[in-house]
Amino acid sequence: MSLPLFPRSGDKHTCNLSEAVTKPNIVVGEYTYYHDFDDPLRFQDRNVLYHYPVNNDRLVIGKFCSIAHGAKFLFNGGNHKQAACVNYPFAIFGELWEHELHIADSWDNRGDIVIGNDVWIGFEALVMAGVTIGDGARIGSRAIVTRDVPAYAVVAGAPAKLIRKRFPDEDIALLEQVRWWDWSEERIKRDLHLLMGDVSALRESVGE
């Protein structure tokens, strides 16, 4: 589906991110937006860091996510090898040291960053390589996310820690079953009052 680049008339600070990224190793679901006080269209260059093609790692962001100004995703190319005796990344400077190490031998590769659906990532939060954030989670402003975040969890701090769950376990189970982000546009429009209300009304509507 093709969406407008800017979802709000007269607002050039908020973009539909799926329409702004062009790099094949960044995948963004529909209706996910990024807000930036400067230029949201530079997201893939300013906010996705050390993301080198040699690693084959990906940034995968689900549908209907809300990403605030300055949130960044720090990939494996920013790591240094943990098991090495030295911190210095010799393999990056192969010409100088006349060796044949692969450039990616300079760092540990912890894999992709995977963001679920309907995730809110706060102002200037930092998500590290290898992290998976579950559906419906909330990431506090300036949090540093070094570990996986469960669905519908609220995390904050540096490093980020669980503050609370957004809902009781039975409500989380319902939301994960309903998967409203996969509904048609028509159904979302029809049931928007349920999505903007509490879980009990949604439960009653779906007959749980």
The predicted-structure confidence for 178-191, as pLDDT tens digits, reads as follows 999 999 999 999 99
Across residues 16-37, what is the average pLDDT?
A: 98
* Whole-angstrom distance, CA of residue 67 vs CA of residue 21: 14
The predicted-structure confidence for 163-174, as pLDDT tens digits, reads as follows 999 999 999 999
Which residues does 201 contact at the CB level (< 8 Å), separation at least 6? 194
Q: Which domains does the chain have, with CATH numbers?
A: 14-77+111-166 (2.160.10.10), 168-208 (no CATH)
What single letter denotes the amino acid at residue 36? D
**Distant-in-sequence contacts of 196-204, Cβ < 8 A, 24+ apart:** 199/167, 199/171, 199/174, 199/175, 202/174, 202/175, 202/178, 203/171, 203/174
Across residues 108-122, what is the average pLDDT?
A: 95
Q: What is the mean pLDDT of the chain?
A: 94
* Whole-angstrom distance, CA of residue 105 vs CA of residue 150: 31
**pLDDT classification of 202: cutoffs 50, 70, 90:** very high
What crossing angle do the helices spanning 199-206 and 169-178 adopt, rounded to 10°?
50
Peptide bond into 159 cis (omega under 30): yes
Among 35, 80, 99, 193, which one carries the catalytic annotation? Answer: 80
**Residue 208: is its pLDDT beyond 70?**
no
**pLDDT classification of 97: cutoffs 50, 70, 90:** confident
Across residues 28-38, what is the average pLDDT?
A: 98
Q: What is residue 92's predicted lDDT score, i.e. its pLDDT?
A: 84
Q: How many CB atoms lie within 10 A of CB 208?
A: 14
Regarding predicted confidence, which is higher, 207 or 90? 90
Provide the β-strand partners of residue 15.
34
**pLDDT classification of 106: cutoffs 50, 70, 90:** confident
Catalytic status, residue 80: yes
> Which among 34, 32, 14 is positioned nearest to 135, based on CA atoms?
32
The predicted-structure confidence for 146-157, as pLDDT tens digits, reads as follows 999 999 999 999
The predicted-structure confidence for 122-149, as pLDDT tens digits, reads as follows 999 999 999 999 999 999 999 999 999 9
* Whole-angstrom distance, CA of residue 79 vs CA of residue 102: 15
